Chains A and B, each alone.
Chain A
Amino acid sequence: MTPLGHPEAHELLLDLALEPSALAQVVQATLGGPALPDGDPLVAHLQACAICQEQLVAWTRTHAAVREALHQAGSAVPQRLEPWDEDTRILPPPDLRAHVLEAARTASMTSTVAGLVGPDLETTSARTRLPALTSITQGRRF
């Protein structure tokens, strides 16, 4: 078996990351589970390379997290997420942007005044309860 170099292994991992099922097989094999046919060189490299192991772990966790999140809460049977299902892109209210900027400016002024007056000044929080926002905009991305 020809040993796999790190750059080649890295590229293979990036491709495998696109296929959650195939990646899971490689993880199993790397942990000493059912071996892939003919002593897979990628598995051999992963068993020795800490950097690639870190990438493998990161992708595996990402895949597991996405799978978990795709399943409906509380459902015993995983619900398939159809791509045309309503997963609305929720946009913030248009006037929130101005409120955020105002809050940031207030924070700057408070910080400046505190710096001039000294630590005895009790600074008020720049947080403001937002007034009733005028709209919530939703967008669809298809």
Chain B
Amino acid sequence: MREDLGVHDDDPAADHALMARVGLGDEEAFLTVYDRYASRIYGASVRLLRDPELAAEVVQDTFLATWSRAAQFDPAAGSLIGWLLAIARHRAIDRLRAEKRRGTGVGKSSTASGADDRRDGIAHILALPAPEIDEPGAQFEQRWLRAVVRTVLAELSFNERRVLVLAYDDGLSQSEIADRLGLPVGTVKSRTRRGLASLRASLEGVPGLRAEPPTLLATDLGTPAVGGYS
């Protein structure tokens, strides 16, 4: 049976080559990057802002920054998706501030025609509270983190999500998961590795989650440190 694969980060070397071409003004490479990662940026932005139109603007802002700053991408510093999501986070903050200056909030229903059709499919997500413009930085960062993780999980296959849930929620070992699902341990490991690799690459752009200088901190056992609202 063919393994059902979710959407995953591609080869970092390929991303590096793509970005080098984008830096030279290659539109095809630019659109390849878009096709590869726009859904994750859009999904995280919708989950954060509860506003599809605003999320679309964040995507546009992010890719515009990518187009003009492609030469600044350093693959040694982390994954391309981590870099893109870091930009998207800043752009989301910019958009929130802009909405504040306009005196509008986020998560409001659009009056554009067809808006109801667009929102129906994700109504359960839009119904959740949107960030307040002035909410504390730590609270905002937790929202962003949650939005990124939920988006990445949504892009995994059902089977990949299932093994991660058993590992995280039930604390099962790989062999215990294999027993429960009636699968070879190797299959469970492959699915878990793919899911975790996607999560880790995407979380590189979240403040406080990049590996600090090699000092084990007792606080690392608990909630990760979060950056300020900046």
Contacts and interface: CB of A to CB of B under 8 A. Distances in A.
Interface in A69-92: 69-70, 73, 78, 80-84, 86-92
B contact patch SS: helix
Interface in B131-178: 142-143, 145-146, 148-151, 153-158, 161-162, 164-165, 167-169, 171-174
Nearest to A129: B57
Contacts of A24: 221
A62 B34 contact: no
Interface string A99-142: 11101110110010000000000000011111011111010011
Interface of A: 15, 17-22, 24, 27-28, 30-31, 50-51, 53-70, 73, 78, 80-84, 86-93, 96-97, 99-101, 103-105, 107-108, 111, 126-130, 132-136, 138, 141-142
A130 to B, nearest CB: 6
B122 A90 contact: yes
B230 interface: no
B27 to A, nearest CB: 7
Contact of B64 (A64, A92, A126): A126
Given A18-B196, A65-B209, A81-B169, A101 B150 contact: no
Contact of B30 (A31, A101, A130): A101
Given A54-B211, A138-B121, A142-B157, A127 B60 contact: yes
Contact of A130 (B60, B156, B196): B60
A135 B171 contact: no
Interface of B: 4, 6-7, 25, 27, 30-31, 34-35, 38-39, 42-43, 46-47, 52-53, 55-57, 59-61, 63-64, 67-68, 110, 112-115, 117-119, 121-122, 124-125, 128-129, 142-143, 145-146, 148-151, 153-158, 161-162, 164-165, 167-169, 171-174, 189, 192-193, 196, 199-200, 203, 206, 208-218, 220-224
Contacts of B46: 90
Given A90-B154, A135-B117, A69 B211 contact: no
Contacts of B146: 68-69, 73
12 contacts: A18-B174, A19-B174, A20-B167, A27-B221, A53-B216, A66-B164, A73-B146, A80-B169, A81-B169, A88-B122, A127-B64, A130-B53
Given A18-B196, A65-B145, A81-B165, A89 B155 contact: yes
Nearest to A52: B214
Contacts of A31: 216, 218, 221
Contact of A91 (B39, B64, B224): B39
A133 B51 CA distance: 13
Given A19-B174, A87-B150, A142-B157, A136 B52 contact: yes
